[in-house]
Amino acid sequence: MLSVLALLSAALAPQLVSGQVPRLGGVNTAGFDFTVYTNGSFTNNAAAPPTWQYTHFSAEGANLYRIPFAWQEMTPTLGGPINETFLYDEYNPIVQAALASSPDAYVIVDVHNYARWNGEIIAQGGPTNEQYASLWYQLAGFYGSTPRALLGLMNEPHDLDIPTWAESVQYAVNAIRAAGAQNYLLLPGSNYTSAATFPTGAGPYLLNVTDPLGGTEKLIFDVHRYLDYDNSGTHAECVTNNTEVFETLVTWLQANGNRQAILSETGGGNTASCDEYLYQELAYIKNSYPSMVGFSVWAAGSFATNYILSMTPYANGTDQPLYNVAVRPNLPAPV
């Protein structure tokens, strides 16, 4: 399959699908990624996100749903074929439910493995670039006819050689285009895709990633940023609104060809500090379009309502207090 990637890429017409990605805002709907650890291992304790949440959030003005999965679920053999039972019967029905919740809804198809497979880094002692690209070649063949599917190339790479990682990202981009897909692609950096370090860390290397379609309009940088004291997203209290971080990032994006980024993970606890700071952060992101195309907060889906960063609605249909105060007013079409 991958031996013909170069030929297929050369055969693609250098044209972009018209239209810019709209302002986006919504939630991560976690579950398929449960027990994917930061070393890229997976203990197969997944739980499909409840589909009713998509109609719930879309009715309130959300139009973006990030749906993480474990690499090992999608291709149980590294570099091998897609597990059709997982893709067809488990994962894709969730994607389609999200898309069907609104004619304006987008999804992020997110492989959640931290640039690793069972502890080993892609092209840095672990999976080869060809094995990584094989995953995306197959997924692109499936989702290439779904323009509202954004392809998130990898969740939170970390502790790796950045120039080598940028080469792996290019490999995945080439594979996706070789499959004929013209979707928007989300390019992750390093340091857990930190928005704070992106302009001086991975960003300069990812600027060199090219799109076989031509131009860079469909290559969007993927960043994360939490609001607790160590940016881990593991504490209920927020200590910053991150606006200085995003001001720096937006300035960098505009200075480098008016590139775009998306905040695909952020969040906080149901505390007064997060009511204030998360609201301010998301308002800044919303007002920074098109440099920042939008956000998805962490997290709803299969998380319990008492999870520390839970955005999961309650059984009676009401939302988490933080969602009502900080997220809902900053959605693209708040209701």
What CATH number corresponds to the domain at position 57? 3.20.20.80
Identity at 192, one-letter amino acid code: Y
- Amino acid identity of residue 55, one-letter, is T
Asked if residue 10 belongs to a domain, the reply is no
* The pair of three-digit structure tokens given for residue 23, joined into one six-digit string: 């302002």
What sign does the CA torsion over 158, 127, 174, 178 have? negative
Whether 15 maps to a domain, the answer reads no
* Number of domains making up the chain: 1
Residue 17 in any domain: the answer is: no
- Domain of 264 in residue numbering reads as 22-330
Where in the sequence numbering do the catalytic residues fall? Answer: 156, 265
**Is position 2 within any domain?**
no
Residue 335 lies in a domain: no
Output the pTM of the full model: 0.94
11 lies in some domain: no
Q: How far apart are CA 166 and CA 183, in angstroms?
A: 19
Q: Is residue 5 part of a domain?
A: no
Categorise residue 80: left if φ over 0, alpha if ψ from -120 to 50, beta otherwise. beta
**Residue whose tokens read 């997982």:** 86
φ, ψ for residue 28 (rounded to 5)? -75, 135
User: Which amino acid would we find at residue 288?
Assistant: S
Q: In this structure, what DSSP letter does residue 313 have?
A: P
What is the residue-level pLDDT of the chain in tens, covering all 335 positions?
434 333 333 333 223 334 689 999 999 999 999 999 999 999 999 999 999 999 999 999 999 999 999 999 999 999 999 999 999 999 999 999 999 999 999 999 999 999 999 999 999 999 999 999 999 999 999 999 999 999 999 999 999 999 999 999 999 999 999 999 999 999 999 999 999 999 999 999 999 999 999 999 999 999 999 999 999 999 999 999 999 999 999 999 999 999 999 999 999 999 999 999 999 999 999 999 999 999 999 999 999 999 999 999 999 999 999 999 999 999 998 88
Q: Is residue 178 part of a domain?
A: yes
